[in-house]
Amino acid sequence: MSDIQTREVSYHAGSLRMKAFLTWDDEVTGRRPGVLVVHEFWGLNDYARNRAEMLAELGYTALAIDLYGEGKVAADRDEAGQLMTQLLADLPECRARFSAALELLKNHATVDENRTAAIGYCMGGGIVLHMARYGLDLDVVASFHGSLPLAIAPTGEGGDVTARIVAYNGEDDSFIPAEAIKAFKAEMEKTGADYQFINLPGALHGFSNPEATAKGQQFNMPLRYDALADQSSWAHLQLLLQSAFRT
C-alpha cells in the first residue's frame, strides 16, 4: 500500500514567488532520494504534476518546479513561446530559479539531500542538461525530447559535470536536427561526462506526453504521443535511478 501526499508549495527565487508541486509516499520510511521535475514550455501544468506523482509512487520525493514564477501556465503556443523566450534570455536567472527549487527539495523532511536527480521535458529537458553542464550537484539528469543546445556552454563557462546524464530523443523530432545531436555528443565527450543518448525510432517531439498529439493538432505543431517510446524511456529511467541510488 502507498499513501501519496501532495502539496502546492511556494518559495522565492530572489524577489519572485514560485509555485511548485511536492509529492511523496508517507508509507516509505526514512529519508529517500529527491527528484526535480521540470516542465515543458507550457509551464507547470498537470503533465509535470503527474510525472512527479509517478516518481512518488516509485518511492522518491518529487518536486515539479515552477520556472516562470507565480505558477504561470500558457494558454496557447504564442504565450508559451513568449514565456520560454523571456526565461532563456537570462540563463543565470534561470539557474538561480532552478537552484532555489533544488534547495527547497533538499530541505524537505523526507529527502536525503545527498541523493538528488532532475528530469525534464521539452524546454525542461534542455534546462536539466544545462544545469548538469554548469556543474550542479545532481546524481542523475534525464532529458525527454529536450532542447539539446541548452547543454552547450560558451567558451569559458560551465563546470565539472558530475551527474549521470541520459537524453531520450525522438528519432523523427524535427526540432532536433542532426547537427544539434552531433554538437551535444561532442560537448558531453569534451567534458568527460557519463552520458547516454538514446534515439527512439519513429518518435516525434513530445513523445512522452499523452496530450502531445492533440496539442500538435490544436496549435499546428509537429507533436505526437508515442506509447512505446514513452513506456520504454520511463522504464529505462527507473533502472538508472535504481542504479544511481541503489534503491
Mean pLDDT, rounded, of the chain? 97
pLDDT value of residue 1: 76
pLDDT value of residue 246: 86
Coil, helix or strand at residue 210: coil
Coil, helix or strand at residue 173: coil
Pairing of strands 140-144, 164-170: parallel
205 has a pLDDT exceeding 80 = yes
* pLDDT tens profile 123-177: 999 999 999 999 999 999 999 999 999 999 999 999 999 999 999 999 999 999 9
Percentage of the chain lying above the pLDDT 70 cut: 100
- Measured CA to CA in angstroms, residue 48 lies from 141, 159, 161 at distances of 16, 28, 25
99 has a pLDDT exceeding 70 = yes
* pLDDT tens profile 34-50: 999 999 999 999 999 99
Residue 74 neighbours by CB distance under 10 Å: 18
Long-range contacts of 130-133 (CB under 8 A, 24+ apart): 130/91, 130/94, 130/95, 131/95, 131/98, 132/161, 132/162, 132/163, 132/165, 132/193, 133/158, 133/159, 133/161, 133/187, 133/191
* pLDDT tens profile 5-21: 999 999 999 999 999 99
* Strands of 140-144's sheet in order across: 4-13, 16-25, 61-64, 32-38, 111-121, 140-144, 164-170, 194-200
pTM: 0.97
Closest CA to 80 of 91, 90, 63, 67: 67
